[in-house]
């Protein structure tokens, strides 16, 4: 490892002048530093770290925290193994400072490193994919499923082969992005947000500082439960009224207000509302939003803007498709750059919402929650883009049509010789021991869990004297979900399946081959697949982010695709934050791909069906569709 480190440092010394071309290196600066130990919480209000966490503040600016690199390494060494212990127990980060030339190296146990040059003002990764990968996982793995289950036996998925082209060395010019770096009196400091973005996003977690305390949390959970409340209440009020509001283009907050008003008139609705109110009051998000309110300092506003540019340039996976060379040029062509540097956190937050929901409009990128600097009742003012509005309209249309055919809403349904398996999303519970649950008869509800549904469907389809000759996987209203569930589905149909990704940040490519254990006997064999049957997949433009599955079917050739061109959505979702505490999602740099003639192609434009079904009504008439299928062979 040391030999590799010295070789890289020699290369960096040669490239130093090129890396900062066009940017004058600044000389040593003296800063007035203040260190504060603030309360620190890990994932939940009850998980307060006893000794707190030391943050540095420079030159009297109290809303832009810095972290010493030694302290950051200790943080990662302590908490990364806590997040997914079955995958990261071997994680270790070592700090190698060099006070003579103002550089610090953070070296992983796998030999990959992050090299910080405070003189040249650059941040370098020899292989970013290796630096953020799980300690026990393969290169650029998106499954996050341990190879062994809780009992030490083979788990749901097994990787039988993998082929990788590792990522290139990337040198980030922090001077160009005006990211402050402080090396002074033997202390090496980077802004909290920069460290959080480039070391924690790969775990879907981030750091939040609200002026009073520091929080390490899952980004997706750092929002008010409005969506969950609405979904829970929709089941107890007439859906027609909500569909009418959606069709009229009513803002989400007005729809939620209507749902709350209608549901609060029933005892069941009151119970649901009280439950979520209690959940919110005890949530880490509530702890975060209880911080002081007000405007951002000019220093934080400027840093937050440039840090956001850096992160978007590195992590947005669809820049080419959106004709974005760099995000500063893109934002300056709109009014958003001015909004993002305004002291008002509300203006900046709304600009983030406009970037994700209106301009990018890619189905994955979306605003999640506001900065703690805003009052809790402040609403986001972003506008849905053209594609988002079209998708919402189609969702309403298909939902209404499917209600006319109750059989189509069943997770599993048989018509004569044809079995239908409906998956509206790919769901995978990382905390469930599926093997123990299957033995105890306590598997999760199959309507909301892919493994449970496929296990039960597999038992039905392969039962003794089964009449089933055709199996139709209905993805016509599938909005995506967890990659392991999608691969589990592919392996069920194909016996063995490939999963390929291209990383737009580091130009790495990986193809992994998987088998799945469908009958939950810890053995991967022919009893786990239905590849000997006539297989079909039903898709529509609403089939979004699940595109991996129909593309894999198309590439394999054994599964017949029915319906309309699927919706797209090739990039894995990447939860992100801003330096002032906003949460949002982005189509990340991991781009799911299909491989043809050795080349990796994205699947964002959707896949063409083998047989077009023009009327959406025919998607859900199971008898008519069965008759049609039986005529195809």
Q: Concatenated DSSP letters for 401-459?
A: HHHT-GGGGSSEEEETTEEEEE-SSB---TT--HHHHHHHT-PPPGGG-HHHHHHHHHH
With pLDDT > 90 as the criterion, what percentage of the chain qualifies?
70
- Domain map of the chain by residue range? 2-136+167-221, 226-388, 391-569+604-630
Looking at residue 382, its pLDDT comes to 57
* Model confidence pLDDT, tens digit, residues 300-318: 999 999 999 999 999 999 9
Does 16 score more than 50 pLDDT?
no
* Model confidence pLDDT, tens digit, residues 564-581: 999 988 899 999 999 999
Going from the C-alpha of 65 to that of each of 35, 442, 592, the distances in angstroms are 9, 47, 35
C-alpha 113/C-alpha 583 separation (Å) is 27
- Residue 242 sits at the vertex; the CA angle it makes with 240 and 245, to the nearest 5 degrees, is 110
Looking at residue 246, its pLDDT comes to 62
Does 199 score more than 50 pLDDT?
yes
Does 12 score more than 60 pLDDT?
no
Does 262 score more than 90 pLDDT?
no
* Model confidence pLDDT, tens digit, residues 110-127: 999 999 999 999 999 999
What's the number of CA atoms in the CB half-sphere (13 Å) around residue 269? 16
Looking at residue 547, its pLDDT comes to 82
* Model confidence pLDDT, tens digit, residues 53-111: 999 999 999 999 999 999 999 999 999 999 888 889 999 999 998 766 789 999 999 99
Please check whether residue 46 is in contact with residue 31, taking contact to mean a CB–CB distance below 8 angstroms. Answer: no
Please check whether residue 585 is in contact with residue 356, taking contact to mean a CB–CB distance below 8 angstroms. Answer: yes
Higher pLDDT, residue 250 or 373: 373
Which phi and psi (to 5°) does residue 628 adopt? -65, -45
C-alpha 542/C-alpha 531 separation (Å) is 26
Looking at residue 99, its pLDDT comes to 62
Residue 15 tokens, joined: 């490239």
* Model confidence pLDDT, tens digit, residues 496-542: 999 999 999 999 999 999 999 999 999 999 999 999 999 999 999 99
Does 609 score more than 70 pLDDT?
yes
Residue 148: CB partners within 8 Å, gap ≥ 6?
A: 86, 154, 155
Q: In sequence order, what are the beta bridge partners of 413?
A: 420
Which phi and psi (to 5°) does residue 194 adopt? -65, -45
* Model confidence pLDDT, tens digit, residues 402-411: 989 999 999 9
Looking at residue 499, its pLDDT comes to 92
Provide the pLDDT confidence category of residue 378 given band limits of 50, 70 and 90. Answer: low
C-alpha 598/C-alpha 509 separation (Å) is 11
H or E segment to which residue 539 belongs: strand 534-539
In CATH, what is the architecture of 391-569+604-630? Alpha-Beta Complex (3.90)
* Lowest-confidence pick of 2-16, 64-78, 151-165, 549-563: 2-16
Q: Mean pLDDT over all residues of the chain? A: 89
The stretch 264-283 carries a mean pLDDT of 85
Residue 304 tokens, joined: 């937050």
* Model confidence pLDDT, tens digit, residues 459-469: 999 999 999 99
């Amino acid at each position: 490892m040391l030999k590799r480190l010295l070789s890289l440092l020699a290369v960096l010394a040669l490239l130093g002048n090129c890396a900062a071309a066009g940017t004058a290196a600044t000389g040593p600066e003296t800063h007035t530093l203040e260190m504060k130990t603030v309360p620190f919480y890990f994932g939940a209000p009850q998980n307060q770290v006893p000794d707190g966490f030391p943050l540095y503040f420079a030159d009297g600016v109290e809303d832009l925290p810095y972290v010493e690199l030694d302290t950051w390494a200790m943080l990662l060494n302590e908490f990364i193994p806590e997040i997914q212990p079955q995958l990261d127990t071997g994680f270790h980060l070592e700090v190698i400072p060099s006070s003579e030339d103002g550089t610090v190296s953070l070296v992983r146990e796998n030999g990959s490193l992050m090299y910080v040059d405070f003189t040249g003002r650059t941040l370098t990764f020899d292989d970013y994919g290796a630096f953020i990968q799980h300690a026990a996982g393969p290169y650029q793995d998106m499954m996050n499923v341990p190879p062994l289950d809780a009992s030490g036996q083979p788990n749901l998925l097994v990787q039988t082969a993998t082929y990788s082209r590792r990522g290139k060395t990337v040198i980030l010019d922090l001077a160009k992005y005006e990211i402050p770096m402080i090396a002074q009196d033997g202390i090496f400091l980077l802004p909290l947000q920069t460290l959080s973005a480039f070391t924690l996003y790969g775990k879907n977690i981030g750091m939040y500082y609200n002026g009073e305390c520091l929080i390490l949390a899952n980004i997706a959970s750092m929002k008010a439960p409005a969506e969950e409340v609405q979904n829970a209440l929709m089941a107890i009020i007439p859906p027609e009224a909500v569909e009418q509001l959606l069709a009229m283009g009513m803002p989400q907050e007005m729809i939620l207000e209507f749902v709350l008003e209608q549901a609060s008139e029933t005892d069941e609705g009151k119970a649901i509302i009280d439950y979520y109110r209690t959940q919110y009051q005890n949530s880490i998000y509530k702890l975060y939003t209880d911080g002081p309110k007000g405007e951002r300092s000019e220093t934080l506003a400027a840093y937050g803007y440039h840090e956001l540019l850096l992160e978007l340039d590195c992590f947005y996976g669809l820049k080419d498709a959106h004709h974005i060379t760099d995000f500063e040029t893109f934002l300056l062509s709109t009014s958003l750059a001015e909004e993002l540097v305004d002291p008002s956190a509300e203006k900046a937050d709304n600009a983030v919402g406009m970037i994700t929901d209106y301009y990018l409009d890619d189905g994955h990128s979306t605003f999640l929650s506001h900065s703690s600097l805003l009052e809790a009742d402040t609403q986001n003012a972003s506008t849905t883009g053209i594609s988002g509005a079209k998708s919402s309209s189609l969702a309403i249309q298909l939902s209404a049509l499917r209600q006319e055919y109750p059989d189509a809403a069943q997770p599993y349904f048989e018509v004569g010789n044809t079995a239908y398996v409906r998956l509206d999303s790919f769901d995978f519970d990382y905390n469930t021991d599926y093997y123990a649950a299957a033995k105890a008869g306590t598997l999760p509800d199959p309507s909301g869990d892919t493994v449970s549904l496929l296990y039960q469907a597999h038992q039905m389809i392969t039962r003794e004297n089964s009449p089933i000759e055709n199996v139709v996987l209905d993805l016509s209203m599938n909005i995506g979900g967890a990659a392991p569930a999608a691969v589990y589905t592919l392996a069920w149909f194909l016996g063995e399946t490939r999963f390929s990704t291209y990383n737009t940040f580091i130009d790495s490519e990986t193809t992994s081959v998987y088998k799945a254990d469908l009958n939950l006997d810890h053995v991967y064999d022919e009893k786990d697949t239905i590849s000997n049957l006539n297989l079909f997949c039903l898709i529509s433009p609403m089939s979004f982010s699940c595109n991996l599955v129909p593309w894999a079917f198309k590439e394999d050739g054994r599964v017949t695709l029915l319906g309309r061109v699927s919706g797209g959505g090739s990039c894995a979702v990447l939860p992100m934050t801003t330096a002032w505490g906003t949460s949002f999602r982005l189509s990340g740099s991991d781009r799911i791909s299909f491989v043809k003639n050795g080349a990796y192609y994205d699947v964002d434009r959707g896949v063409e069906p083998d047989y077009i079904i023009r009327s959406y009504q025919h998607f859900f008439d199971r008898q008519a569709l069965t008759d049609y299928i039986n005529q195809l062979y």
